[in-house]
Amino acid sequence: MLIWPLCLLLFVSAHPVDQGIFIIQIQGLRNADGVATVALYEKDNHLSEDDVKATFKSTIKNNSAVIMTKPLDYGNYSVVVLHDENNNGKMDYNIVRMPKEGVGFSNNPKIGLSKPSFEATKVTLGEKEKKITIKMIYF
């Protein structure tokens, strides 16, 4: 009698989770210095270093870059790009706390004085390959 529930449990737990990759085209990088870094978030408090799902880096050529992620579970993500011009692994700010380096967000929302919401930058990964284009912003 216990064999049937155990077999069912094995089947359910062995069922693979659907996964896909993002192919991220980054446009408008102002130079080829440093690297383009992509951070993926799954939560509303995106841009917090503690909540990064995954990061990826790419060299820059002809003011653009392409990054392919590793396989990720289907779901909603916010994709954030940093043009880390001095390759120090973090965003640099000027004296009034404005970014000195370029940033970009999935869905290319308009940027005001605050970061865009997760909803404004949310993209759904629900296929084997999801191509998105992100345009860089410099302040």
Of the candidate CATH numbers 3.30.1330.10, 3.90.180.10, 2.60.40.1120, 3.40.50.720, the domain formed by 18-135 belongs to 2.60.40.1120
**Residue 2 predicted with pLDDT over 70:** no
pLDDT at 45: 66
pLDDT above 90: percentage of residues in the chain: 75
In the chain, what are the domain boundaries?
A: 18-135
Q: 50: pLDDT confidence band, cut at 50, 70 and 90? A: confident
pTM of the model: 0.85
Is 21:74 a contact under the CB 8 Å cutoff?
Answer: no
Rounded CA separation 129/126 (Å): 8
pLDDT at 14: 53
Smallest CA-to-CA distance from 23 within 82, 102, 106, 87 is with 106
pLDDT above 70: percentage of residues in the chain: 86
Q: Write the pLDDT tens digit of every residue in 61-113.
A: 999 999 999 999 999 999 999 999 999 999 999 999 889 999 999 999 998 87
pLDDT at 10: 56
pLDDT at 49: 72
Q: What is the DSSP letter of 5?
A: H
More confidently predicted of 120 and 14: 120
What is the CA angle 131-136-139, rounded to 5?
A: 160
More confidently predicted of 49 and 102: 102
Token readout for 70 is 């590793």
